[in-house]
Amino acid sequence: MATRKPAPPAFVCTECGWTTAKWVGRCGECQQWGTVSEQAAPTGFLRRMTPLAPHADRAARPITQITTEDAPRRTSGVGEFDRVLGGGIVPGAAILLSGEPGVGKSTLLLEVAAQSARAGRRVLYASAEESPAQVRLRAERTGALHDELYLASETDLATILGHIDEVRPQLVIVDSVQTVSSSLTDGAAGQPSQVREVAATLIRVAKERSLPIIIVGHVTKDGQVAGPRVLEHLVDVVCHFEGDRQTSLRFIRALKNRFGPTDEVGCFEMTGGGIAEVPDPSGLFLSQGATEPGTCVAIALEGKRALPVEVQALTIPSSAPNPRRVVHGLDASRVAMVLAILEKRASIKTSMLDVYVSTVGGVRFTEPAADLAIAIAVAGSVQLNSVPRTVAAVGELSLAGEIRPVTQAAQRRSEAARLGYEQVVDDRSKTLRAALNDVRARNTNRRPDGEIPPF
C-alpha cells in the first residue's frame, strides 16, 4: 500500500506573505533578509475544510440588491488634513500616518484630537512613545487641552483595547504602531509579526464599531513605512507627512485612499505654538524684493495644487579648474542638462562660470516643468537681463532646445492667471531661443544706454 508523503512545511515571508517549501535566508519576492520563517502548512487544513452554509445576513447577494448607507464624513477640524482625506474622516476608517522622526506627526494628531474634542467628540490618544506628562506639555504649548481628550501612555495592545471599552471614544489615535505589542504574538514591538497583529486588531475594532482609528507609522531610511508591506494593504488610507528639516513647511499627501482621491496635498507650518494650516501657500516660495537679473517664476504642481516657485540663479567667473555647480531644491542633473542646452542651443556659455541655482523658501521642485525657468534664470544672470514680475515660465526642455508641453498645463496657466501673472512662457514658444527672445521683448529694465540687454 502506498503511504502518503507528509506535506512539506511552508515557509512564509513575514514582510510580504511569499511562501516557499524550503527555508531561504532572503525572500524571493521582496528581497528582504531574515524575514522567512516556518509556519504550519495550511494544505491539510484546507483539504479537510468542509463548506459551511453562511448565515442569512452574510449570504452572497447580487450587487444590485446591496443597499448603500451613505457614509457621512466628519470633519477632523483641521481643514488641510480633511482635504487630503477627501473631505473628512469616514466612520470606521483606519488611517495610517507615516513620516520621518520629528517631522511633526504627534503634533498634527494632537491638533486633530483637540479639534475633535472641541467639537464634542471624545478622543482617546494612546501614546506608546511618550509619557502622559510629555504629551500634556505639548498640549499646553499648542493649546490642545480639553476634557474630552483622553490620554493613555500604553504599549500593550490589550490594555489599549480596554481603554477603548472604558472611554468609549469617537476617535482613537495610536502613536505608534511600531511601539505597541500584543501578548498573543511572539517577538518584540516593531517586529513585522507584531506590527501586523497590532494593526489587524485595531482595524478589526475600527470596522466592528465604526470607530475611526488613526495609526502613526515610522518610516525606514529610504522613506518606506517601516514594518510589513501588508500594513499598507490593511488600512484604508495611507498618508505621508513630509517636510524639509531646514524649513518649517510641511506637506501631507495621501498615498492610498479608499474613500477619496490621492492627488490632494495639505500644507502646514510648524510653529512654536504647534502646527498651523497654510490654506494658500502661493506666496511662500517667492522673493519679496525688486526683480534682479537671474530670477524666474515657474508654476509647480503639488498634487492638485499649482504653486508659483521662484528659481534663482547666480553666475560668476570661476577661478577653479572645474567651475562649481551648486544646486538647492532642484534636480542637479536636470540643471546640468539645462546648462548644456543653453550653451549649445542658445549660445549662452556657462562652462567658464560658477553656477549657483536655488529655489526660494527651500521648496523641492524636481519636475521637468522647471527646466524653462532654470534656463531663463541662468540666461538672465549671464546676460544681466531681468524677467518682469508679471511673467512666469513652465516647460520641459528637450536636448534639441525645443520646449515640450508639461502635465496639467491648463491648471498651471489658470493658477498663474489667478495670481496675476500676465504671461506664461511655455511650449507655445516652441524653442528655447524663441522663449528667451519673448522674455527679452517684455523686459522693461533698459540699460543706461537705452538698450534692452540681449538674451
Ligand X SMILES: Nc1ncnc2c1ncn2[C@@H]1O[C@H](COP(=O)(O)OP(=O)(O)OP(=O)(O)O)[C@@H](O)[C@H]1O
Residues 251-270, one symbol each (x = binds ligand X by CB under 6 A, - = not), give: -------------------x
Residue in the shown chain whose Cβ atom is closest to Mg ion: 106
Q: Which is nearer to ligand X, 13 or 284 (CB)?
A: 284
- Asked if 101 touches ligand X (CB under 6 A), the answer is yes
Binds ligand X (CB under 6 A): choice among 35, 76, 98, 107: 107
Q: Which is nearer to ligand X, 273 or 317 (CB)?
A: 273
What 440-443 contacts at long range (C-beta under 8 Å, 24+ apart), as own/partner pairs, is 440/385, 442/387, 442/388, 442/390, 442/391, 443/385, 443/386, 443/387, 443/388
Interatomic CA distance for residues 304 and 262, integer angstroms: 9
Query: Within 10 A of 242 (CB to CB), how many other CB atoms are there?
Result: 18
Out of Mg ion, ligand X, none, which partner does residue 102 contact, by CB within 5 to 8 A per kind?
ligand X
Interatomic CA distance for residues 61 and 359, integer angstroms: 56
Question: How many residues lie near Mg ion (CB under 5 A)?
Answer: 1
Out of Mg ion, ligand X, none, which partner does residue 228 contact, by CB within 5 to 8 A per kind?
none
Q: Which is nearer to ligand X, 129 or 354 (CB)?
A: 129
Q: Which is nearer to ligand X, 90 or 237 (CB)?
A: 237
Q: Which is nearer to ligand X, 151 or 393 (CB)?
A: 151
- Asked if 291 touches Mg ion (CB under 5 A), the answer is no
Question: How many residues lie near ligand X (CB under 6 A)?
Answer: 12
- Please name the residue ranges forming H helices in 291-429: 332-346, 371-383, 409-418
Minimum distance of ligand X from residue 130's CB (angstroms): 8
34: left (phi over 0), alpha (psi -120 to 50) or beta: left
- Asked if 126 touches ligand X (CB under 6 A), the answer is no
Query: Binders of Mg ion among 96-115, rule CB under 5 A?
Result: 106
Q: Which residues on neighbouring strands pair with residue 33, listed in sequence order?
A: 26
391: left (phi over 0), alpha (psi -120 to 50) or beta: beta
Out of Mg ion, ligand X, none, which partner does residue 266 contact, by CB within 5 to 8 A per kind?
none
Minimum distance of Mg ion from residue 169's CB (angstroms): 19
- Asked if 172 touches ligand X (CB under 6 A), the answer is no
Query: Within 10 A of 445 (CB to CB), how many other CB atoms are there?
Result: 15
Binds ligand X (CB under 6 A): choice among 104, 217, 228, 395: 104
Binds ligand X (CB under 6 A): choice among 272, 289, 448, 450: 272
Helix axes 371-383, 432-442, angle to 10 degrees: 60
Minimum distance of ligand X from residue 341's CB (angstroms): 40
Minimum distance of Mg ion from residue 136's CB (angstroms): 14
Query: Within 10 A of 196 (CB to CB), how many other CB atoms are there?
Result: 22
- Asked if 178 touches Mg ion (CB under 5 A), the answer is no
Amino acid at 83: R
Q: Which is nearer to ligand X, 270 or 369 (CB)?
A: 270
Helix axes 132-142, 105-118, angle to 10 degrees: 70
Out of ligand X, Mg ion, none, which partner does residue 72 contact, by CB within 5 to 8 A per kind?
none
Interatomic CA distance for residues 179 and 160, integer angstroms: 12
C-alpha cell of residue 58: 452574510
Say whether 127 sits in a helix, a strand or coil. strand
Q: Which is nearer to Mg ion, 174 or 237 (CB)?
A: 174
- Asked if 105 touches ligand X (CB under 6 A), the answer is yes
Q: Which is nearer to ligand X, 198 or 342 (CB)?
A: 198
Binds ligand X (CB under 6 A): choice among 103, 237, 311, 406: 103
168: left (phi over 0), alpha (psi -120 to 50) or beta: left
Binds ligand X (CB under 6 A): choice among 35, 76, 98, 106: 106
Stretch that binds ligand X, among 104-112, 259-267, 308-316, 429-437 (CB under 6 A): 104-112
Amino acid at 13: C
Cβ neighbors of 29 (< 8 A, separation 6 or more) are 13, 16, 18
Q: Which residues on neighbouring strands pair with residue 250, listed in sequence order?
A: 268
Minimum distance of ligand X from residue 163's CB (angstroms): 20
Among 381, 418, 113, 107, CA closest to 270: 107
**Separation of CA 15 from chain center:** 22
Query: Binders of ligand X among 188-227, rule CB under 6 A?
Result: none
Q: Which is nearer to Mg ion, 130 or 292 (CB)?
A: 130
Q: Which is nearer to Mg ion, 179 or 291 (CB)?
A: 179
Query: Binders of ligand X among 18-77, rule CB under 6 A?
Result: none
Interacting residue ranges for Mg ion, rule: CB under 5 A: 106
Binding site for ligand X (CB under 6 A): 99, 101-107, 129, 141, 270, 272
